[in-house]
Structure 1
């Protein structure tokens, strides 16, 4: 972000304190930052704090005679390369959605044709309110990009979706957007990621070690390549990638239902989820008590999600994943044929530093008659390479 000019709008929510670190992080990445605060934002953090952190005077009002004598709001709107509002409260989203211009920040947004980014922050019920949902949809349709929100504990003491994304994640997402391309422009891509958890009783389940990092990186890379992306995610604690529509599921059965619903609308399906092979025949209604002889679980096979998706008409271009601990390429080729898919990405999860729980991976992409090896690298970098290759193969087939 070296030399990029960021206009940061800070609005009146408790998360305004996070904007202080955000300014510092943006400047660390080489960006120049000017801050505009709403009147309510100044009740949480002082303008002097942001002036010290940004190195620029802070604007708080349209009624600044010295600045507005020279049409300062227009000057600021033209100065910025991007406008970022963090935190973006429910009130701010509503005013922007309906074109209000009754303070400096909303006026700037109306007067600017630069890319605009929003980091929402509010109570979980406010975020889920139909009015907010409608405002967000309207803003997205007009080109606003959303960063978050995150899910977790909130200042009000409740837990849920609506937390402002952490400053490090916001800066990371802003930086990655420079990597966007048109390799998948106009395509609809469906990705699944993470584990499935199969309940045994109300407190226990069968699961696996998948963190979801690889699949989330693939979804992000597809979005950066211009695709319209839907991500179906198992139970993981990862922020939704920028520009990605997310559906959360828990079990293999739920995953199959979502995949069969979404796959007919997709051009490409990339299935990286670690789907549990088995589930208990019948989930106990009460907690199973511990006894001296242990317990015996009656397990039945889960549906083969990708094989079922391969039967969908019209059939999308299908990419599977094979996480193996031995005979990796042999087993991957068997899965390619058995599931009737176009490509399979094989990875050795027994390799140190790769696969489950790790930040790096190494893949071999296999088709019916070719294979491509991607050396060990960070999952984000690897996902970018994978998406580039998948896009080329899809375009070539088409």
Structure 2
């Protein structure tokens, strides 16, 4: 029996060895290291799927575009800083050539005016963005990761994704950008986690279907915005015309408004999403009105024009203001007249919000408020 058992093991080992030798070789992934003074973009352009571009501590004055799938762009923490390139100052023409140059420019302008205008796509830098992860109209770029770095002072967005699938933005310090800290459009299955997003001109995190045209809500396919610290922005998180995502366990404080979930009259309607277990504290900065919104101050969580959104288990405290959107958790009929329907606000803990902990200006009767711990509501009876 012993001999038979040994023979069986030897035969099995031989078969396994044959199978292993026949298996295809696994492609080796490379780490491309970028040092101060070197170009991040050159390393990204050289990277192949599965590679990591590791950017060492230092300040890098450039914008970076990633189009290759499954590439990781990673720094070593906030010591890796990406800022805009210095603007070049144009040299003034010599006086002798000034008239000649002006005449030439006028002639060129007149010639171009006769041609039909063409829409030219801007590069990441020309668009005022720091890091861009870009797919195409027909194909999403998959599996890109941006992690462990600081991106700051760009006129538009720190990290911007369009047409992405499985984009991860993790451990990023997105600070003092002109519009958004981290933003994406037409993207699915994203993970935005453990980022510090502060001092940006509009939303710290902005997620949308598209901002270029009117369209129905986009299925974000379980995108997750989680464990981020968002402060000192106009709005902490804006979710616009999207479905099927979760905003969970974020700390949102010191903004003019905490979390905005926005829909409109387009179909399908925005909603079918969760805002859960966030700490939304004292979002009492004062921001002037814009074309889309009135002046903001003291808004915790706002739903406007949404359906079947659930706001649950959040701690919402100290949000106080006199804007139409002020209050702890606010259901507000959208500015294009669309009522929110079948939204559920349950299990939240609210205190010291003004004009009330729970506010609803909705005319619809299908929204529900259940098991919330609060003292005051408008209208009365929601607590």
Question: Common fold, TM-score beyond 0.5?
Answer: no
Structure having greater relative contact order (Cα 8 Å, sep ≥ 6): 1
TM-score (structure 2 length as normaliser): 0.29
**Higher helix residue share:** 1
Q: Which has the larger radius of gyration?
A: 2
